[in-house]
């Protein structure tokens, strides 16, 4: 089947398909969307149509299958919303991640301010801000865990003394 004959077959059956889609969806707008999706899927799978005489049945089956698939998706979505609470982000950003840009800027600023405190305290504080545990910092710097805690506390205290106007809501940082 050529593109031109496909267009002709769609045009010939448009009224029937539109009425069938409207009957399934219940409104004109959704029927138009369903018919458009059906036309696209049929065009992409045109090579699977064996006989042009079966076009009406073939495309009607595609339309019905798309409708059922969309209906099942919508029903599953409503069930998930009922179970998990209403959250659009749950469906549209499944792999969403937290925006840590502001946190990273605060960390960089803190590191700049901590450089004035002292080299040893700065090293420990920098590793702490990066996310290392006290034990990991102790192993890296070859010192005891107590010394690591002391240096980090010293750096925090000095930064608070030197820059009392700073306020960080996250106690992890300062």
pLDDT tier, 34 (very low <50, low <70, confident <90, very high otherwise): very high
> What's the pLDDT at 112?
81
What whole-number distance in Å separates Cα of residue 37 and Cα of residue 40?
Answer: 5
- In this structure, are 110 and 154 located in the same domain? yes
For the CA atoms of the chain, what is the radius of gyration?
32
For the cut 80, the answer to whether the pLDDT of residue 81 exceeds it is no
- In this structure, are 19 and 83 located in the same domain? yes
> Minimal CA–CA distance to 34: which of 20, 44, 48?
20
pLDDT tier, 66 (very low <50, low <70, confident <90, very high otherwise): very high
- In this structure, are 45 and 106 located in the same domain? no
- In this structure, are 68 and 130 located in the same domain? no
Q: What is the largest CA-CA distance in the chain?
A: 86
The mean pLDDT value for 41-66 works out to 89
CATH for 110:
1.10.10
For the cut 70, the answer to whether the pLDDT of residue 38 exceeds it is yes
Domain of 18? 3-92
Quote the mean pLDDT of the chain: 83
- 172 within some domain: no
- In this structure, are 35 and 84 located in the same domain? yes
What is the pTM (predicted TM-score) of this model?
0.48
> What's the pLDDT at 69?
92
For the cut 70, the answer to whether the pLDDT of residue 15 exceeds it is yes
22, two tokens: 């409207």
Number of domains in the chain: 2
> What's the pLDDT at 86?
57
- 171 within some domain: no
Q: Which of 32-41, 65-74, 121-130, 143-152 has the lowest mean pLDDT?
A: 121-130
CA–chain centroid gap for 29, Å, is: 28
Contacts 24+ apart (CB under 8 A), 156-160: 156/125, 158/114, 158/116, 158/117, 158/118, 158/121, 159/110, 159/113, 159/114, 159/117
> What's the pLDDT at 89?
54
pLDDT tens digits for 83-142?
766 555 555 555 566 777 888 787 788 778 778 778 888 888 888 888 899 999 999 999
> What's the pLDDT at 20?
94
CATH for 29:
1.10.1740.10
> What's the pLDDT at 169?
52
Of the ranges 31-45, 98-112, 151-165, which is most confident?
31-45
């Amino acid at each position: 089947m050529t593109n031109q004959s496909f267009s002709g077959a769609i045009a010939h059956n448009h009224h029937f398909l539109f009425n069938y889609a409207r009957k399934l969806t219940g409104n004109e707008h959704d029927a138009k969307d369903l018919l458009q999706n059906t036309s696209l899927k049929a065009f992409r799978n045109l090579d699977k149509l064996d006989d042009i005489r079966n076009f009406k049945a073939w495309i009607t089956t595609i339309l019905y299958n798309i409708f059922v698939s969309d209906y099942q998706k919508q029903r599953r979505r409503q069930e998930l919303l009922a179970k998990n609470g209403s959250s659009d982000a749950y469906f549209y950003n499944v792999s969403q991640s937290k925006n840590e840009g502001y946190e990273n800027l605060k960390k960089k600023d803190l590191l700049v301010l901590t450089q004035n405190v002292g080299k040893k305290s700065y090293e420990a504080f920098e590793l702490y801000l990066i996310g290392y545990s006290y034990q990991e910092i102790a192993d890296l710097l070859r010192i005891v865990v107590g010394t690591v805690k002391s240096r980090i506390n010293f750096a925090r205290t000095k930064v608070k003394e030197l820059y009392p106007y700073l306020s960080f809501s996250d106690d992890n940082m300062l």
